[in-house]
Amino acid sequence: MIKKVVINKLGRFEKFSFDGVDDFKRYNILYGLNYSGKTTLSRAFMLFDTKNVPEHYEDGYDFYFVNEDGSKVHSDNQTDINTFQTKVFNSDYIENNLFFKTSGASNILVLAENAQEIMSKIEQLENEIKIKNNEIKSFEQQQNEYQTYIDKRRTDESKKIKENLHTTFTATTFQSYEKNIKINEDIHKFIIENDNELVEKRSIAIAEKNKDNISEIPLIPEINTEPLKILLNEVVDIRTPLKRLEENKVAESWVREGLSLHKDQEICFYCGQPLNNDILNELNAHFNHEYNELISKIETEQRNFKTISRIENLPDTSKFYNQFENKYLKDKDILETRRKEYNKEIKKIQDALTCKLKSITKPITFETDFKISTLNDQIKIINNGVINDHNTFNTNFEKQKENALEELKIHYVATTIIGKDYTDAEKYVKEAKDGIECAKKEIEAKEKEKLDLETKISESVAGAEKINKILNRLFMGKSDITILNKTGENKDKYILMRNNEPAHNLSEGEKTAISFAHFIASLESKDLIGYYGNITLFIDDPISSLDNNHIYAVYSEIERLRKEECSNITGSDKRKYKQLFISTHNYNLFRLLTERDEKYIGVYYIQRTSQTSEIINFPKTLLQQKAEYSFLFNQIKKYISAPTEEDYIIGHFLRRFLEIFATYKNPTKCDLRKRLEDIVSLKEEYKSNETLIQAVYKMVNEESHTYITNEIINNGNLKNTAESVLKFVELIDPEQYSFLEKNYNNCSQ
């Protein structure tokens, strides 16, 4: 058993050594006012019950218990925490293990270990799931919005492709092409960047087979300029030249031609006179054989080098497919340029030959960079190029058209799907899909966590029948409050019933009773069977909000726990619980619990100072006071005669003393100030001491439920206030006051 507690740090307890205090007994009663430190002390025991650090003391704690054999149980020793077995009922137990929730006109109750924490977590998870479901709706809206845009773009672009390429193309077709294109990492390779190529592809794609093969353009006969150069350099000597003809080359040419015409003639064609043989001989001597032969060669060359006014057999542009027209026209223009260059070069040759005719006795130099063959070269380019392409296309018309059509379809789809508006829409759709998937996974995880928590509740709920039995005892056999199992999805929850009707507006007293009943029922858990005989119970304020009618029921439950035995325990002492600690601020319960005079009962007082709390032995003289009313009167009188008590405690005593007095005199349900005013209004003589009455009213107005105001304390008026309260009671009921004085005097002797 624990015989003492040493607290270096725990809430209001600080450097408390337990010196001068009687050792704890098997059965310990601790009396203390609200906020004196009762619950704080219970939390020291609760650490070994829940195995968790009390949430109120994260800033640190340091205490230990001392056993009968002198060994210590430390708060920071995990072995001690796991070994020392305690079960604690306090406000934390109520908060942690019971969860009340209003649903319609009913109060739903969840009973389980850490119920508040679990249900708060479940509620948090439900809210988080709701938030995630809203996220999903938002993502779905985003997905639908941008998917609708993408679908519309596919439809619109499909219509454009259909109209532009004169082919069947639907949104479904578009999506199929899109899927295949996206398999490749580089989509840009499917896009035809060159506009001319794009136009050509389209021409092929939309072409109809209505053309014939085109014949090649005939080549121009080749001309070799090397013999020409030799001819121009060739010269002849005239043996008997005629000076008149040498000086006039035009006349010489005219005469030479005339001589040729008059060969074997006797009459001159010009003058009609007989030809003069002497003149003919003279002319023939001038125009000798070498001369005539060279002239003949020159004239022959002149006939060979002719200009080309146009190239025959050029195909008409309309005979080509549209995609070849521009190429043909371009090549044809080049051919025409080459023709002009050719003619220009021929003109130079002809001029050189003409000049040679006039100067056959002198060489003529002729140089040129132009290749006569360039004209045929361009004709070959056309023949082997555009004409061949046209003919090849014409031969493989359907295949060429099909390929071009396919390339263009891929081009238009690829161009669309790499556009920023389209890729942005796809990005937002993907973000939405990912968001939905992520949210669903989170919801799934949260649903699982929620299910695990609900399962935990299901596995740990105390039976409704057992709790109702205890409630029946607490409410003295009345069916004030009972609990009823729900069904369906809430089968692990209870509905609170009051007189067989769904209960609502639960009082704090009813909640406390249900909590205490649950605690007692939880002591029957199969998990505790192996610890019976070694369990220390600490029950803190089990009737903090119950009226006096329930005090006896609570007292009976505590007595039952104190005496309860278990057959499974070995040895002569069969009691289930090794040690009990009961703390209360209710003086009537305190009196009931301390009526017996047994050596194993320890009675203590938890005393609060302005900064700290401590445990002391309950004064023997105070134990003689059977009623709280007389106990409070004696404490107030004692303070007035020797003001050494803590001011805050006396403030509470004053308030409580007035409440009991006023309730006794005026049981009407109202606040304290109204009760006192109604009492004063009964007789005129009560109003005779206006100053006294106003002092009491002021104290009631300014003082909280627990403490006197700082204003009264700081002004040093607490003693005056206490005297005013007692004088007020004496004024209203002198007979009662006389009995209280007599009792005080007897106790003081």
- What's 134-189 look like in SS3? HHHHHHHHHHHHHHHHHHHHHHHHHHHHHHHHCCCCCHHHHHHHHHHHCCCCCHHH
SS3 89: strand
- String of DSSP letters for 10-71: ETTEEEE--TTSPPP-SEEEEE--TTSSHHHHHHHHHHHHH-S--GGGTT--EEEEEETTS-
Residues in the chain with pLDDT < 50?
A: 105-106, 460, 487-488, 645, 704-715
Looking at residue 542, what is its pLDDT?
Answer: 87
The CB density around residue 575, as the number of other CB atoms within 10 Å, is 17
433 backbone φψ class: left, alpha, beta (φ>0; ψ -120 to 50): alpha
Amino acid identity of residue 571, one-letter, is: G
Looking at residue 106, what is its pLDDT?
Answer: 47
Looking at residue 708, what is its pLDDT?
Answer: 47
Furthest-apart CA atoms within the chain: distance in Å: 202
In this structure, what token pair is assigned to residue 217? Answer: 């353009």
Q: Tokens 């993502």, residue?
A: 139
Query: How far is residue 366's CA from residue 352's CA, in Å, rounded to a whole number?
Result: 7
Residue from 33, 64, 46, 40 nearest 605 by CA? 33
What digits encode the pLDDT tens for the residues 501-533? 777 777 777 778 888 888 898 888 877 888 899
Looking at residue 113, what is its pLDDT?
Answer: 61
Q: Which pTM was predicted?
A: 0.52
CB 477 within 8 A of CB 99: no
Looking at residue 378, what is its pLDDT?
Answer: 92
In this structure, what token pair is assigned to residue 447? Answer: 């649903």
Q: Tokens 């119950």, residue?
A: 546
Report whether CATH 3.40.50.300 matches the domain 2-102+503-618: yes
**Extents of the domains making up the chain:** 2-102+503-618, 127-189+418-459, 192-236+309-414, 628-748
Half-sphere CA count of 664, side-chain side, radius 13 A: 11
Query: How far is residue 494's CA from residue 486's CA, in Å, rounded to a whole number?
Result: 5
- CA angle (33 as vertex; 32, 37 as ends), nearest 5: 65
Looking at residue 439, what is its pLDDT?
Answer: 95
The CB density around residue 340, as the number of other CB atoms within 10 Å, is 13
In this structure, what token pair is assigned to residue 43? Answer: 């939390």
Convert 259-270 to b/e letters by CB count within 10 Å (16 or more is b).
beeeeeeeeeee
Looking at residue 712, what is its pLDDT?
Answer: 46
